[in-house]
Amino acid sequence: MSFEDLSLHTNLTRAVADAGYTQATEVQLRAIPAAMGGADLMVSSSTGSGKTASFVLPALMRVLASREAQRAASAKDPKEHGSNFGRQVRPAASGPRVLVLTPTRELAMQVAKATVDYGRHVPNLRVATVVGGVPYGAQLKALRGPLDVLIATPGRLIDHMESGKALLGNIEILVLDEADRMLDMGFIEPIQHIAAATPATRQTLMFSATFAGFVGRLAEQLLRDPQRIDISSHTEAHADIEQRLHWADDFAHKNALLDSILTERDMEQAVVFTSTQRDADWLADRLADMGHHVASLHGGHPQGRRTRVLQGLRSKQLKILVATDVAARGLDVPSISHVINFGLPMKEEDYVHRIGRTGRAGRAGLAVTLAERRDTGMIQRIQRYTTQRIPAATIVGLEPKRVEPKPMARPAAPGGRPSKPFGPRPFGAKPFKPAGKTFSKKTGPRVV
């Protein structure tokens, strides 16, 4: 189904077409009409499924409706609305109509970009971001003026609320994007505090990978008779992403495998994930010394640097991004052809978000995991979580000398149990410390 079949305003369908999209995804087909009908929503959808548009477009519909109401009021009583008869009249600054909460700065910036792109034909659209790690001045200026859509991380928004600068009394739509991630980061009380400051009559749209446990209880608190939309789960096949597993004998072998993959001809751009900030900086330095156009990205960097790095990646000035899981969500660069797990994630679900950085916008992608024997336990847990086996592969001339870990039983369907045990419990793996390299203990400001 095309976007023109979703009863969107012509200004929005034109903007969507300008952005290069014609066919709506499944989550958009189901969520957009429900959201436009005013229902509260609980939505689960996979990364790269077009989730952002499924709440941005209904939010912009609400903004357009308010514009038309203002024009009608102005035409009916021009004296009351000043001398701007027949022109667009903006209300006095009294806070935004739409509030989107996201877990990270990167995701907030991504949502803001999508809002501006889809709202390019909305008259006088005002979009602002309130995130940590950037100066307060520009944010305060944006909050003082007329505002339609506010995209924020919970911590910094709480700061502006306590100072009286963020007014949420006119919120009509509250969106919680990646709610499970925000709760993992300890934001449940800030979210409750923010929601309490918005009108009880608001519409609430909640997007989360899961609604189990605390996320489900939060949904019960904040949503009224919500519609449940479950598009896909972590067990989906990732049809556009080829997954490979390379077993490394040791750390030197792992580095050799990485270097070989990064020099393949079909490698357009790559994101290399590490387990720690220190590892990301060290690996980026090593790859830069080899002549790669590379930069690191993690929560210890100031926002200005992080913004420049992402701009360099999108403009293709950078070919390789070495990142921690801070980039696993919200990073949408269609030209990323490879995702490489140099260090394994701390949680199984983060593996799904990592590999979702490739294979976007209908392109094919390759997700490669480099694992040593000590990583066997996490590989097993990832395969249990996704109910998929990651096929083992080798590179000619770099075949492992050690025997590959014993094959694991075929993963069962969700809710089932594997036919055989997956092996012994893993022992804790410590992050590596490359010899002869010193690292600053200063990791920068806390990311909110």
Q: Which of 61, 55, 49 is nearest to 24 (CA)?
A: 49
The domain made up of 3-230 has a fold known as: Rossmann fold (3.40.50)
Per-residue tokens: 433: 């410390």
Per DSSP, helices labelled H in 24-153 are 26-36, 51-76, 105-118, 136-144
Q: Are 280 and 322 in contact (CB under 8 A)?
A: yes
For β-strands 270-273 and 320-323, DSSP reports them as parallel
Q: Which CATH number fits domain 241-386: 3.40.50.300, 3.90.950.20, 1.10.3470.10, 3.30.1360.120?
A: 3.40.50.300
End-to-end CA distance of the chain: 38
For β-strands 149-152 and 127-130, DSSP reports them as parallel
Domains 3-230 and 241-386 are alike in CATH topology: yes
The pLDDT value recorded for residue 82 is: 47
Which residue, chain included where needed, has tokens 């410590």? 430
Per DSSP, helices labelled H in 77-153 are 105-118, 136-144
Query: How far is Cα 346 from Cα 318, in angstroms, rounded to an integer?
Result: 26
Q: Are 385 and 234 in contact (CB under 8 A)?
A: yes
What is the radius of gyration, based on Cα positions, of the chain? 23
Which residue, chain included where needed, has tokens 């720690």? 276
The pLDDT value recorded for residue 333 is: 82
In the chain, where the domains are located: 3-230, 241-386
Per-residue tokens: 188: 């449940």
Its pTM stands at 0.63
Per-residue pLDDT of the chain (448 residues; tens, 9 = 90+): 678 788 899 999 999 988 888 788 888 999 999 999 999 999 987 666 788 999 999 999 999 988 887 777 766 665 554 444 333 444 444 789 999 999 988 889 989 999 999 999 998 899 999 998 788 888 888 888 789 999 999 999 999 999 888 999 999 999 999 898 888 888 999 999 999 999 999 999 999 877 878 888 999 999 999 999 987 655 555 667 899 999 999 999 999 999 999 998 889 999 999 999 999 999 999 999 999 999 999 888 887 888 888 889 989 999 999 999 876 666 778 889 999 999 999 888 788 888 888 887 667 889 999 999 999 999 999 988 888 889 999 999 999 998 777 655 444 444 444 433 333 333 333 333 333 333 333 333 333 3
Looking at the DSSP assignment, which residues form a beta bridge with residue 176?
A: 101, 206
Please report, for residues 222, 256, 346, 404, the alpha-carbon distance to residue 278 in angstroms, rounded to integers and kept in the order given: 39, 20, 15, 29
Query: How far is Cα 280 from Cα 271, in angstroms, rounded to an integer?
Result: 11
By the 10 Å C-beta count (0-12 exposed, 13-18 middle, 19+ buried), 234 is classed as buried
By the 10 Å C-beta count (0-12 exposed, 13-18 middle, 19+ buried), 69 is classed as exposed
Phi, psi of 41, rounded to the nearest 5 degrees: -130, 140
Strand order across the beta sheet in which 320-323 lies = 241-247, 365-371, 338-341, 270-273, 320-323, 294-297
The pLDDT value recorded for residue 330 is: 64
The residue type found at 102 is: T
Per DSSP, helices labelled H in 264-414 are 277-289, 303-314, 348-355, 376-386
